[in-house]
Amino acid sequence: MHRHLIFGAATAAFLLTGASVPASAMDKYDPKILAAAKKEGEIVVYHSVNRKVLKKLCKAYEKKFGIKTNCTRKSSGGIVKMITADTMAGISKCDIVSVGDAGMFLIWKAKKSIQPYKSVNAGKMRADLVDPEGWHHPARLTYYGISYSTKKVKPGEAPKDWEDVLDPKWKGKIGVVNPRTAGPARLWLSGMLKKYGWGYFQKLSKQKPLMIKSSSTAAKLLVRGEVSVIVPGSDHGVSKRKKKKQPVELVYPKSGLMGKDSRVAICAGAPNLNAAKLWIDFETSHEGQSIVTSVGAYPPTREDVKVGFSKFRPGAKVYKKENSTWISPEHLRDEGPKERKKFERIMKAGMGS
C-alpha cells in the first residue's frame, strides 16, 4: 500500500503555469497527519536553537499549516531542566524537544521521555545522522574551530591548529568556553581528548585562560577585544558576526573542525501528537532547513540545501565528515560527565600554579 503525500499549494501553482518549481515547494506531508494536526490546532515546542531561528520556524509553521505554536527557547541545559521538571511533576506539556547534546536523546529514550516517528524526510537527511527507528532526528549541524579578534591578532599570527594555542605567546590571552556550563565545549573537550589526550589540557591550564560560561558570552568578549583567542570558536556564530563586519575571524584548523548535530524528537505523551509529527517533517524539510541555515548560519542536515552565509565561509568541503572530528552520543552520555569533572580539576590545578 502506498502512503499518499501532499505538497504545498505553491507546487500546484508552479505546475499549472509551467514555471520551475522551487525545491521547498516539493516538500511532502502526510495528508492524514496534516488533517489530524489541524484538528489539534496547536503545538508546544521546547527548543535550544538560536532565538531568531526558532521564531522564524514557528511563524513559518503557523503560516503554512494554520496551527498555533507555543515555542520556548532556552539553552540545552535549560531545556533538560524543563523536561526533568515535567517528568517529576507527572505532566505532559511538550510536543517537541530539541537540544544540542545528542547523548540526552539516548537517556530520554531509555527513560521513555521521547517517542519514535519515522519522518517522510528520513531519506533526504545525511544518512549517518539518521536514527533508523526514528527516536530522534538531525535538526542542525554545528562546527567549531578557533576564533580570534582581528583587533588583537593579525591573520598571519593567528593559530593554525589546535595545538598552536599552547604556544607561550598566548598565555593570558585565551578564553576557554567551559564544558561544565556550555554544550559546544563538551564536544570540544571530548574531541581534544580523542586527538591529544589529557596532556593537552594540562598544558592549556598553564596558559592561564579565562574560563567563560557560554559561547555567546565568549563571542561578546572577543568582539570587544577583551580576549585575543577563543576555543572552541563557533563557525556559525563567527559567520554571522563577519556579516555584521564585527572584528572576528575563525581559524579552520589544519587537523579539522569539531562537528556535531543537534537533534529534535517528539515528547512522550505529547498532547498534540500529530502536530508534533508535522513539526518533525517541517523542521527537516527543505523549507525548514533553509530557514535554519539562512537565518542561523547552521550548516543544514540535508545535502540538497545550500549552506547559508557562504560569502563568509571557505566552502562546503570543510563540513565533510571526513574533514572533522565527531563524538558519538554514546560517548557523550557515558564518558562526558567524568571528563568534565577531570577537566575542572586539571584547569584549577594548572591555573593556580
What pLDDT was estimated at residue 184? 84
What pLDDT was estimated at residue 5? 54
What pLDDT was estimated at residue 26? 80
What pLDDT was estimated at residue 16? 46
Three-state DSSP class for 323?
helix
Domain parsing of the chain, residue ranges:
9-14+21-141+262-312, 142-259+315-351
Dihedral of CA 155/157/161/162: which sign? negative
Angle (CA) 252 240 56, round 5°: 130
Matching fold, domains 9-14+21-141+262-312 and 142-259+315-351: yes
| Model pTM score | 0.86
First to last CA, the chain: 70
What pLDDT was estimated at residue 193? 97
User: May I ask the CATH architecture of the domain 142-259+315-351?
Assistant: 3-Layer(aba) Sandwich (3.40)
What pLDDT was estimated at residue 2? 39
What pLDDT was estimated at residue 170? 97
Counting as low any pLDDT under 70, the low residues of the chain are 1-25, 353
What pLDDT was estimated at residue 353? 57
What pLDDT was estimated at residue 12? 46
What pLDDT was estimated at residue 8? 53
Class of domain 9-14+21-141+262-312: alpha beta
